[in-house]
Structure formats: structure tokens, C-alpha cells
Amino acid sequence: MKQNEKAVTDSYRMAQEAYGEWGINTEEAMSVLDSLPISLHCWQGDDVGGFEAPDEHLTGGIMVTGAYPGKARNADELRLDLDMALSLIPGTHRLNLHAIYAETGGKAVDRTDLGPEHFTAWMDWAHEKKMGLDFNPTLFSHPNSADGFTLSHPDKGIRDYWIEHCKASRRIGAAFGKKLGTPCVTNIWIADGFKDNPVDRMTPRQLLLESLDTILLEAISKEHNLDAVESKLFGIGSEACVIGSHEFYMGYATTRNTLLCLDAGHFHPTEVISNKISSSLLFLEGLLLHVSRPLRWDSDHVVIFDDELVAIAHEIVRSGQMDRIHIGLDFFDASINRIAAWVIGTRNTQKALLFGLLENTEQLVKAEQTFNYTDRLVLLEELKTMPFGAVWDYYCLSRGVPVGRAWLEAVRNYETRTEDARK
């Protein structure tokens, strides 16, 4: 055994003993973490460009800042970058695709005409890696979204266009699920809304309701596809009113048995999604979480190991409903190495989940239910300085990925190998 591996293992054995004194099984915690896949978002790798018209300016409240060299220019490069990122992340995960990442062989294919055949290479790649795929219809950066409205547009022709695109997307998601043996989560997000205060909020929301109901008319097995809807408080160009608000989609998901997507950056700056998980699960079939990091607004910064991330992880673990919660990432930072962004965000999300798993929840709940708040606070505070880092390092070592910051060297070497080709 190499010296650094021995040090990691020795530190882990001491941590294992320390946690054992609390009645916490570190091996069990790592095993549970293995069963919690995180859906990496493909759009971090190319700044939400896609392959439909990658050089066109993003519209619909989407903005990526930065110009770090080396972004993927096509699907093959994007898959190579994902391969690199995944080799540095412990566990087996998923990939979240947008419709604009279709591979059409250089032919112009309308979004309403997209089918599973345009994602064959993605399915083959995922099948080889034993990964699941998730999907999103792309309802932005298109002439039919130029007015700032899609599924709630007053023009029936434009609404019908987007309805057909979403129908096609559900069929693509079902094909993913059938091919890969794990349900695809197909998530609908729209940027529809008003820049300034509207007079009529009811009509566009009624139109959105009717559009969504039409989209979901086709019966698709939940063994293959799970539908999700995603709300937002405001966006660029829709500061005054977003049609798909939290209240709208909470009601929709509850009455239509879809998943509700809670995005960490889509609420008021004083709101956090960790506080919404338990309440939502009481009424919904399940949740899709988009883990991101807002910085004063929905800026989608790379996820760091902060208080809200830990709170989200604790809520996932303590709910006892992990099988009903789907975890995905949603950030895009072009100011740093894009592969590093994936690795940082995913590993931090896993760290938070492991931190949540390394507690004796039963003991804490017992103290709470007997109104022994003193013991509860003492236990929670003492857990914060337990040797969690030693368990995380051993988890990485035992799963065959670099420990600590060692992964950064691999990213730098990869960047050097590809920089000439991608200038």
C-alpha cells in the first residue's frame, strides 16, 4: 500500500471507531451514498450552447458569463469531457440532457420533430457506462420564444408548437428509460413572464395549465419516464411576473401526479429549498432537486460545501424518502475550467450527503420528541467536529478516485492535452 493510501486508511479506521462510539456505522453510510446518483447537467460543459445553433446568443433569461478556454464544441468532445469528470467523481451517476444537444448529422431538425434517433449516441454512451439519462425540452433560444412566452403564449399556433416539442421530449425520455432500465426524469421549465407589472395574470396561467394538460395526455409508463415541472420566482426579462410560479406548479404537481422541481436559485433570496422538502413530500409523488448556488439572484454558481447544501442533504437523509427524491445539478460557470466545475459541484453534493448520513438521526429525533432540546443541540454541535473528512477521503480512495485535491492535477493534464485542438 502506498504511503498516502496508508495514511488515508489509518485516519479512516480512527474515524470509524469515533463514529462507532456514537452508534454510527460509517460503512453503511458509504453504502447508502453509493445508491444516491446525482444527475450531472450536460450544459455546464459548453455554456448551454447545444448543437442546434451553438454560436447563437442565448435568449429567454439564460446567461452564461466567462470565457475560459477549452469548452466542448460538439457532442464527441462533450462526452470526452464528461468521461474525464466522471473518472474523478466517486459512484455511478446520471446525465441530464437538453433537447438542443440532439445529434442530427448536420441536418436541420425542428424541435417538434426530434426523436430518440437523434440521441442514439448519448444512449449508447450511457448504456456503456451503466448510467441513466434525464431530459429537458428546450423552450428558449428560438424564434417562437422571442416574445418571452411559449406554453402560455396568446397565439395558439405558437403554444401548439411548444406543446408538440414537449410531447416529443416525453417520448425521448421514455426511450431513454426503456433503453437504460431506469426512469428518465423529463423536466419542463419555461421562462414565460412579464418584465413589468401585468394587468392580467390569470389568462396566461390558464393557458399554461391547458398546455401542460395537453402535453401529458399521452400515457407513458412511469417505469420509463417521470414528468417534472419547475417553477421560478423571476428571471431576466420576467422580473415582474413569471407565469410558472411556485404556487402554480405546486398545485399542478399535486393534482396531476408529477414531480415538482425545486431549484435552489429559483426563490426569493430569503427562501431556501431545504425548508420546502418535507412539506412538499407530504403532498407530492416525489421531488426533483436542482442543486445550485444563487448569489443574490439565480446566478447558478458552482455548488460549494455551504450551509444550505448541508441543510438540503440533511433534509434528504432525515426525510427517510430518498427513493422519492431525484438529485440533479444546475449551474453553468464559464469563468473556470468547466470539467473542474462539474467535479467540484458533484463531489461537494456527495460530501454533503455523506455528512448527513453520518449522524445518529434516531437518537436526535428521540431527544427532540421528548423535548430534550439541550441534548439535541449538544449532539448536533459535537457532530460538526467529528472526523467526517477522513471518511470522505476513504470513500474516494475505496471507490478508485483521487483523494483530496489530487484530482486537479488530472484536470490540468487533460486541459493541456486538449488546449491546442480547442483554441
d(CA 150, CA 17): 57
Task: List the grid coordinates of 234.
Answer: 423571476
Q: For residues 355 and 361, give the distance between their C-alpha atoms in angstroms, rounded to a whole number.
A: 12
Of the residues 227, 298, 315, 415, only one is catalytic, namely 298
Residue 224 appears among annotated catalytic residues: no
Residue labelled with grid coordinates 394587468: 199
pLDDT tens across 271-306, in order?
Answer: 999 999 999 999 999 999 999 999 888 889 999 999
- Considering the domain boundaries, does residue 162 fall inside one? yes
User: Residues 93, 224, 232, 351: which is the catalytic one?
Assistant: 232
Residue 2: pLDDT band by 50, 70, 90 thresholds?
low
pLDDT for 422: 82
CA neighbor of 235 nearest in space, from 297, 280, 294: 297
Indicate if 298 belongs to the active site. yes
| Grid coordinates given for 117 | 434517433
Give yes or no for residue 21 having a pLDDT over 90: yes
Average pLDDT of the chain is: 95
pLDDT at res. 65: 83
330 assigned to active site: yes
266 catalytic per annotation: yes
Within 8 A by CB and 6+ apart from 33, the residues are 91, 350, 353, 354, 357, 395
Give the HSE-up count for residue 236: Cα atoms under 13 Å, Cβ half-sphere.
Answer: 11
Is residue 393 annotated as a catalytic residue, yes or no? no
For this structure, is 167 an active site residue? no
Does the pLDDT of residue 407 top 80, yes or no? yes
Residues 50-58: what's their mean pLDDT?
Answer: 80
In terms of residue numbers, what domain contains 223?
34-357
What's the total number of domains in the chain? 1
Of 420 and 254, the structure prediction assigns the larger pLDDT to 254
Chain segment 331-389, per-residue pLDDT in tens: 999 999 999 999 999 999 999 999 999 999 999 999 999 999 999 999 999 999 999 99
Query: Of 306, 384, 403, 383, whose CA–CA distance to 345 is shortest?
Result: 306
Q: What is the pLDDT of residue 342?
A: 98
Whether residue 101 lies inside any domain: the answer is yes
Q: Which of 54-68, 74-88, 134-148, 391-405 has the lowest mean pLDDT?
A: 54-68
Nearest alpha carbon to residue 252 among 215, 225, 224: 215
pLDDT at 27 over 70: yes
Q: What is the pLDDT of residue 190?
A: 97
Angle, CA of 46, 50 and 56, to the nearest 5°: 95
pLDDT of residue 35: 96
Which residues on adjacent β-strands are paired with residue 344? none
- Structural domain includes residue 194: yes
Q: Is residue 411 part of a domain?
A: no
Task: For residue 189, indicate whether it is catalytic.
Answer: yes
Distance of CA 123 to the CA centre of its chain: 19
pLDDT tens, position by position, 85-111: 999 999 999 999 999 999 999 899 999
pTM of the model: 0.95
* Catalytic residue of the set 81, 300, 308, 415: 300
Flag whether 382 is in a domain: no
CATH code, domain with 107: 3.20.20.150
Asked, for residue 333, whether it belongs to a domain, the answer is yes
Catalytic residue among 52, 192, 227, 230: 230
**What is the C-alpha radius of gyration for the chain, rounded to an integer number of angstroms?**
22
Residue tagged active-site, from 153, 290, 314, 326? 290
Q: Is 232 a catalytic residue?
A: yes
The residue-averaged pLDDT of 394-417 equals 95
Average pLDDT over residues 143-159: 96
Residue 1 pLDDT > 60: no
Catalytic residue (choose from 47, 52, 134, 263): 263
Establish if 12 belongs to a structural domain. no
Give the model's pLDDT for residue 3: 61
Q: Is the pLDDT of residue 238 over 70?
A: yes
**Secondary structure in 3-state letters for the chain:** CCHHHHHHHHHHHHHHHHHHCCCCCHHHHHHHHHCCCEEEEHHHHCCCCCCCCCCCCCCCCCCCCCCCCCCCCCHHHHHHHHHHHHCCCCCCCEEEEEHHHCCCCCCCCCHHHCCHHHHHHHHHHHHHCCCEEEEECCCCCCHHHCCCCCCCCCCHHHHHHHHHHHHHHHHHHHHHHHHHCCCEEEEECCCCEECCCCCCCHHHHHHHHHHHHHHCCCCCCCCCEEEEEECCCCECCECCEECCCHHHHHHHHHHHCCEEEEECCCCCCCCCHHHCHHHHHCCCCCEEEEECECCCCCCCECCCCCHHHHHHHHHHHHHCCHHHEEEEECCCCCCCCHHHHHHHHHHHHHHHHHHHHCCCHHHHHHHHHCCCHHHHHHHHHHHCCCCHHHHHHHHHHHCCCCCHHHHHHHHHHHHHHHCCCCC
Average pLDDT for residues 27-49, to the nearest whole number?
96
Catalytic residue among 98, 167, 224, 266: 266
How far, CA to CA in Å, does 179 sit from each of 126, 184, 232, 315, 357?
Answer: 10, 10, 32, 32, 32
Instruction: Give yes or no for a contact between 271 and 243, defined as CB atoms under 8 angstroms apart.
Output: no
Q: Average pLDDT in the 117-130 region?
A: 98
> Cα angle vertex 109, ends 106, 110, to 5°?
150
Mode of pairing for the β-strands spanning 193-194 and 241-242: antiparallel
Q: Which has the closest alpha carbon to 12: 392, 288, 371?
A: 392
Percent of the chain having pLDDT more than 70?
99
**Looking at the domain assignment, is residue 392 inside a domain?**
no
- Known catalytic residue at 384: no
Q: In this predicted structure, what is the pLDDT of residue 328? A: 98
pLDDT given for residue 60 in this prediction: 76
Catalytic residue among 81, 134, 227, 330: 330
